[in-house]
């Protein structure tokens, strides 16, 4: 977890630059934040617990002097959030400062050895050992570069590191292994960060570091080395296309609301998936003996919906699976004839990357669907499709969920075309649905505003909320439930409506709120029966259904009308009011929807 940022400026104070970048990276962790700079050969450090703005109010990051610095947002993995455990972590001499994203697996052994040699540790972090290890090599007479290389060779685990040493004050040392890290090459200085959004207003020229590489940036130069043999590496500089306005709130109170409201545009971007990529991916899937659709959290829900799309549109059976369970559940069935489609908006989720590494060992085909082209998952995949949703900063997945669904839909239509399993007329009708989608999404977001804010007022004090769907909208029920519980903290459950009578219905009592997703599809009739069952037991049926369905409306306690669209696209339209409902409920309860407690945007630990 965590995010890191480093800058070496040709001119001026680095504190304000680091603060802006760190703010953009806050989605990666906000347990604590900190910075270190070097000024006149001395290391200066400021850090504190809490969100960046809170820490900044007390420590005043802008006042950090010096033109070189490193910065960190923490999501705790080792050691409780505290000032001592906040990064940067330093060595015994106070000359070396380290910020780190990742986990050092063997830190306890290293710590013990170093302690025996007289090193004193202040924190409970795994990161602190890195500063002391480098110190140990420097004591043996090595320079900063060689000490870092030797120290790194002792580490096991994942790390993106930025390191300062006050005796070599014009350098930032950067190291990458299994955590994202890239350089930004600017005219006013050089940068490095977990995500280019940190430095995008200084430069869009980027070098992607590879695992096992170390880079040194100074205000005027950069060099990249292979750690194994210290050979210099010549990377191409790529241009990233990120608009600064994309990473600001665009006039909305929260990123989450901005990202919900952006969906009509994100959907139209995602409709422009590159045809060649869809072609390659569909061909690989077509040749495969078995295809698994794998993801975590919201991305798993998109896989659930994706499996309905693939079977109903293209007749292809696939198996959706939760990433953290996949290896135990299906690992032994992987072989060169199988394909795993890994859905991960960040492309950095550890559970998903682990499946990728495992599938690699089994020589299976790895395909990914992600929103971040420079992510680790694209490098592990034989082919990938980029969702094109633009950066998502709010912790809860919104536009990246709907655009993942769109990728699956387009893949299903492509496969159907290739296999000739459906008629030209059917294909045209599926394509027509796609073209209507941005306009319908826009209409829904406008039409449901009022009813959803009323509903949020009714639900904000609920002790428990049920979400029930059928068919492809079972996934919508799961996703609606996840949105509600993760940002409003109201305990919620989701089931396929057919399952409710097999147990969950026991929880229904007078006025228990039950949200039904009941579009005009093959299961509408049985849904009507399920609504009756719940109401007969005193439950309150809040139904999302076709706006012209008067029978359904009559059968509901509350009814929210939705436009008609082909069944396979309903999850994209029906999740929109549920995202808004979760957002409004969180606001009414006084919670910050952009930073739900205990969560981080991308979960890079197992
Ligand atoms: C929920 C949410 C998480 C992510 C999950 C996977 O709103 O955002 O459940 O969906 O952590 O993340 P990615 O898609 O980046 O692999």
Tell me the per-residue pLDDT of 98-112, one tens digit each, with 9 for 90 and over.
999 987 889 999 999
What are 141-168's pLDDT values in tens digits?
A: 999 999 999 999 999 988 999 999 999 9
Rounded CA-CA distance 512/509 in Å is 6
Domain 448-598 has CATH 3.40.50.10490: yes
Answer whether residue 92 shows pLDDT above 80. yes
Residue 140 class from Cβ within 10 Å (0-12 exposed, 13-18 middle, 19+ buried)?
A: exposed
The residue to mutate among 255, 295, 297, 353, having the most atoms of ligand 1 within 8 angstroms of its beta carbon, is: 297
Span from the CA of 298 to the centroid of ligand 1 (angstroms): 5
Q: What are the DSSP E strand ranges found in 470-580?
A: 492-496, 513-518, 540-546, 558-562
Does a cis peptide bond (omega within 30 degrees of 0) precede residue 88?
yes
Which ranges in 206-339 belong to alpha helices (H)?
255-261, 263-270, 275-287, 298-314, 323-330
Task: List strands edge to edge, sheet with 89-90.
Answer: 89-90, 96-104, 157-165, 172-177, 213-217, 222-226
Confidence of residue 275 (pLDDT cuts 50, 70, 90): confident
Q: Please give the structure tokens belonging to residue 499.
A: 């399952």
Average pLDDT over residues 494-514: 92
Predicted local confidence at residue 245, as pLDDT: 66
What are 201-210's pLDDT values in tens digits?
A: 899 999 999 9
- Of 74-83, 260-269, 534-543, which range is least confident? 74-83
**Binding site membership of 208 for ligand 1 (Cβ less than 6 Å):** no
Atom of ligand 1 nearest to the CA of 601: 8
- Name the residue at shortest CA distance from atom 4 of ligand 1: 297
**Binding site membership of 296 for ligand 1 (Cβ less than 6 Å):** yes
**Binding site membership of 596 for ligand 1 (Cβ less than 6 Å):** no
**Binding site membership of 181 for ligand 1 (Cβ less than 6 Å):** no
**Binding site membership of 291 for ligand 1 (Cβ less than 6 Å):** no
- Name the residue at shortest CA distance from atom 7 of ligand 1: 396
Predicted local confidence at residue 265, as pLDDT: 85
Predicted local confidence at residue 500, as pLDDT: 87
- Name the residue at shortest CA distance from atom 15 of ligand 1: 346
- Name the residue at shortest CA distance from atom 5 of ligand 1: 297
What are 15-29's pLDDT values in tens digits?
A: 999 999 999 888 777
Predicted local confidence at residue 77, as pLDDT: 65
Name, in order, each residue with C-beta under 8 angstroms of 445's C-beta and a sequence gap of 6 or more.
260, 261, 263, 264, 576, 580
Confidence of residue 41 (pLDDT cuts 50, 70, 90): very high
- Of 267-281, 311-325, 421-435, 501-515, which range is least confident? 267-281
Output the CA–CA distances (angstroms, integers) from residue 171 to 10, 77, 148, 216, 227, in the order listed.
Answer: 12, 28, 13, 6, 17
CA triplet 189, 193, 196: central angle to 5 degrees? 85
Rounded CA-CA distance 18/189 in Å is 13
Predicted local confidence at residue 103, as pLDDT: 78
Span from the CA of 256 to the centroid of ligand 1 (angstroms): 14
Span from the CA of 56 to the centroid of ligand 1 (angstroms): 28
**Binding site membership of 352 for ligand 1 (Cβ less than 6 Å):** yes
Span from the CA of 198 to the centroid of ligand 1 (angstroms): 21
What are 49-66's pLDDT values in tens digits?
A: 988 999 999 999 999 999
Span from the CA of 397 to the centroid of ligand 1 (angstroms): 6
Rounded CA-CA distance 182/197 in Å is 11
Of the candidates 311, 363, 307, 310, which has an alpha carbon nearest to the alpha carbon of residue 337? 363
Active site residues: 2, 601
Of the candidates 192, 208, 260, which has an alpha carbon nearest to the alpha carbon of residue 373? 208
Characterize the bridge pairing of strands 182-185 and 172-177: unpaired
**Binding site membership of 487 for ligand 1 (Cβ less than 6 Å):** no
The residue to mutate among 596, 603, 604, 605, having the most atoms of ligand 1 within 8 angstroms of its beta carbon, is: 603
3-class SS string, 404-456: HHHHHHHHHHHHHHHHCCCCHHHHHHHHHHHHHHHHHHHHHHHHCHHHHHHHH
Atom of ligand 1 nearest to the CA of 400: 14
Where are the domain boundaries for CATH 3.60.20.10 in the chain? 2-247
Span from the CA of 50 to the centroid of ligand 1 (angstroms): 22
Span from the CA of 270 to the centroid of ligand 1 (angstroms): 18
| CATH classification code of 2-247 | 3.60.20.10
Answer whether residue 89 shows pLDDT above 60. yes
Task: List strands edge to edge, sheet with 182-185.
Answer: 42-49, 32-39, 68-74, 3-9, 189-193, 182-185, 205-208, 238-239
| CATH classification code of 253-443 | 3.40.50.10490
Predicted local confidence at residue 456, as pLDDT: 98
CB contact at 8 A, 9 and 189: yes
Confidence of residue 246 (pLDDT cuts 50, 70, 90): low
The residue to mutate among 75, 342, 345, having the most atoms of ligand 1 within 8 angstroms of its beta carbon, is: 345
Where are the domain boundaries for CATH 3.40.50.10490 in the chain? 253-443, 448-598
**Binding site membership of 396 for ligand 1 (Cβ less than 6 Å):** yes
């Amino acid at each position: 977890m965590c995010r890191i940022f480093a800058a070496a400026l040709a001119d001026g104070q680095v504190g304000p630059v680091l603060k802006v970048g760190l703010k953009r990276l806050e989605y990666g962790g906000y347990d604590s934040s900190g910075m270190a700079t070097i000024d006149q050969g001395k290391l200066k450090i400021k850090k504190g617990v809490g969100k960046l703005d809170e820490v900044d109010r007390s420590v005043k990051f802008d006042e950090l002097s010096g033109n070189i610095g490193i910065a960190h947002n923490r999501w705790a993995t080792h050691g409780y959030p505290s000032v001592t455990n906040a990064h940067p972590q330093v060595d015994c001499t106070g000359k070396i400062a380290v910020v780190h994203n990742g986990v050092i697996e063997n830190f306890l052994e290293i710590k013990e050895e170093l302690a025996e040699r007289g090193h004193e540790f202040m924190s409970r972090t795994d990161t602190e050992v890195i500063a002391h290890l480098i110190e140990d090599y420097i004591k043996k007479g090595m320079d900063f570069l060689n000490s870092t290389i030797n120290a790194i060779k002792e580490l096991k685990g994942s790390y993106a590191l930025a390191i300062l040493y006050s005796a070599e004050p014009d350098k930032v040392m950067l190291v990458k292994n299994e955590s994202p890290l890239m350089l930004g090459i600017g005219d006013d200085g050089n940068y490095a960060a977990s995500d280019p959004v940190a430095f995008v207003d200084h430069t869009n020229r980027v070098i992607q570091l590879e695992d096992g590489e170390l880079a040194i940036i100074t205000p005027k130069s950069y060099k990249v080395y292979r750690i194994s043999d210290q050979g210099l590496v010549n990377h191409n500089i790529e241009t990233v296309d990120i608009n600064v306005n994309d990473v600001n709130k665009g006039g909305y109170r929260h990123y989450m609301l901005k990202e919900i409201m952006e969906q009509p545009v994100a959907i139209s971007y995602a409709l422009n998936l590159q045809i060649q990529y869809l072609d390659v991916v569909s061909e690989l899937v077509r040749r495969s003996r078995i295809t698994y659709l794998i993801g975590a959290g919201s991305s798993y829900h998109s896989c659930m919906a994706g499996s309905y799309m693939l079977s109903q549109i293209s007749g292809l059976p696939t198996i959706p699976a939760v990433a953290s369970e996949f290896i135990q559940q299906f690992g032994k069935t992987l072989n060169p004839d199988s394909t795993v489609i890994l859905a991960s908006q960040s492309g950095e989720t550890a559970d998903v990357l682990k499946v990728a590494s495992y599938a690699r060992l089994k020589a299976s085909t790895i395909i990914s669907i992600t929103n971040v082209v420079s992510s680790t998952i694209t490098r592990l995949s034989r082919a990938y499709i980029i969702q094109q949703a633009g950066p998502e900063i709010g912790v809860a997945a919104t536009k990246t969920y709907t655009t993942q669904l769109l990728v699956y839909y387009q893949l299903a239509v492509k496969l159907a075309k290739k296999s000739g399993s459906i008629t030209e007329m059917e294909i045209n009708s599926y394509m027509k649905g796609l073209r209507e989608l941005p306009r319908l999404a826009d209409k829904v977001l406008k039409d449901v505003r009022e009813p959803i804010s009323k509903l949020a007022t009714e639900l904000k004090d609920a002790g428990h909320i049920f979400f029930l769907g059928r068919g492809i909208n079972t996934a919508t029920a799961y996703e609606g439930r996840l949105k509600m519980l993760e940002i409003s903290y109201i305990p919620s459950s989701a089931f396929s409506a057919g399952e409710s009578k097999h147990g969950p219905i026991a929880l229904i009592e007078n006025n228990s709120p039950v949200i039904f997703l009941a579009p005009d599809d093959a299961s509408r009739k049985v849904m009507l029966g399920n609504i009756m069952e719940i109401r007969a037991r005193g439950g309150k049926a809040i139904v999302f259904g076709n706006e012209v369905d008067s029978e359904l409306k009559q059968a509901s306690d509350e009814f929210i009308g939705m436009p008609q669209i082909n069944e396979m696209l309903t999850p994209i339209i029906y999740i929109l009011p549920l995202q808004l409902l979760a957002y409004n409920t969180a606001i009414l309860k006084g919670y910050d929807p952009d930073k739900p407690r205990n969560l981080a945007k991308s979960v890079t630990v197992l």
